[in-house]
Amino acid sequence: MADHTATHAVHDPNLGTTGLDHRKMGMWIFLGSDCMFFGSLIGTYLSYKGKSLSGPGPHDVFNIPLTSYSAALLLASSLFMVLALTRLNENRIRAAAFWLFATAAFGLHFVLNQVYEFATFALDEGLTLSTSLFGSSFFVLTGFHGAHVTGGVLWLSILMVLALRGKLDRRDYTKVEIAGLYWHFVDIVWIAIFTIVYLIP
Partner 1 sequence: MPGTQAAKTQGVLWSWLTTVDHKRIGILYGSSAFIFFLIGGIEAIIMRLQLARPDNTLVSAQTFNELFTMHGTTMIFLAVMPFSASFFNYMLPLLIGARDVAFPRLNALSYWIFLSGALFINAGWLFGVAPDGGWFGYANLSSTQFSPTHSIDFWMLGLQILGISSMLAGFNFIVTIINMRAPGMTLMRMPLFVWMSFVTQFLLVLAFPAITVALILLMFDRFFGTLFYAPSAGGDPLLWQHLFWIFGHPEVYILILPAMGIVSEVLPTFARKPLFGAPFVIFSGIMIGFFGFGVWSHHMFSVGMGPVADSAFSIATMLIAVPTGVKILNWIGTLWGGSIRFRSPLLFSLGFIAMFTMGGLSGIMHASPPVDLQQTDTYFVVAHFHYVLFGGSIFGLFSGIYYWWPKINGRLLDERLGKWHFWLMLIGFNMTFFPQHFLGLIGMPRRIYTYAPDLGWHFWNMVSTIGSLIIALSFVVFIVNVVKTMRSGTPAGPDPWDGRTLEWSIPSPPPVYNFAIEPTVHDRDEFWLQKNGDGHGGKPASRPRAATPQDIAAIHIPPPSHWPLVLALAVAVMVSGLLVSTYQIIVGGLLTLFCMYRFAMEHHRPAAGHGH
Contact residues toward partner 1 (CB under 8 A) are: 1-3, 5-7, 9-14, 16-18, 20, 22, 25-26, 29-30, 32-34, 36-37, 39-41, 44, 47-48, 51-53, 129-130, 132-133, 135-137, 139-140, 144, 154, 158, 162, 167, 171-172
Q: Please count the other Cβ atoms lying within 10 Å of the Cβ belonging to residue 34.
A: 15
- Angle at alpha carbon of residue 82, lines to 192 and 103, rounded to 5°: 70
Q: Please count the other Cβ atoms lying within 10 Å of the Cβ belonging to residue 75.
A: 13
Which is nearer to partner 1, 35 or 66 (by Cβ)? 35
Which is nearer to partner 1, 33 or 65 (by Cβ)? 33
Which is nearer to partner 1, 41 or 88 (by Cβ)? 41
Give min distance, CB of 16 to partner 1, in A: 3
Which is nearer to partner 1, 52 or 63 (by Cβ)? 52
Give min distance, CB of 47 to partner 1, in A: 6
Per-residue CA distances from 36 to 24, 29, 30, 39, 200 (Å): 19, 11, 10, 5, 21
Give min distance, CB of 82 to partner 1, in A: 22
d(CA 17, CA 1): 14
Which is nearer to partner 1, 28 or 184 (by Cβ)? 28
Q: Is 15 helix (H, G, I), strand (E, B) or coil?
A: strand
Give min distance, CB of 109 to partner 1, in A: 21
Which is nearer to partner 1, 94 or 171 (by Cβ)? 171
Using CB atoms within 10 Å of the CB of residue 47, give its burial: 0 to 12 exposed, 13 to 18 middle, 19+ buried: exposed
Give min distance, CB of 5 to partner 1, in A: 6
Give min distance, CB of 10 to partner 1, in A: 5
Q: Say which residues have a Cβ less than 8 Å from residue 30's Cβ, sequence separation at least 6.
A: none
Quick one: which H or E segment has residue 16? none
Q: Residue 150's closest CA among 64, 53, 74?
A: 74
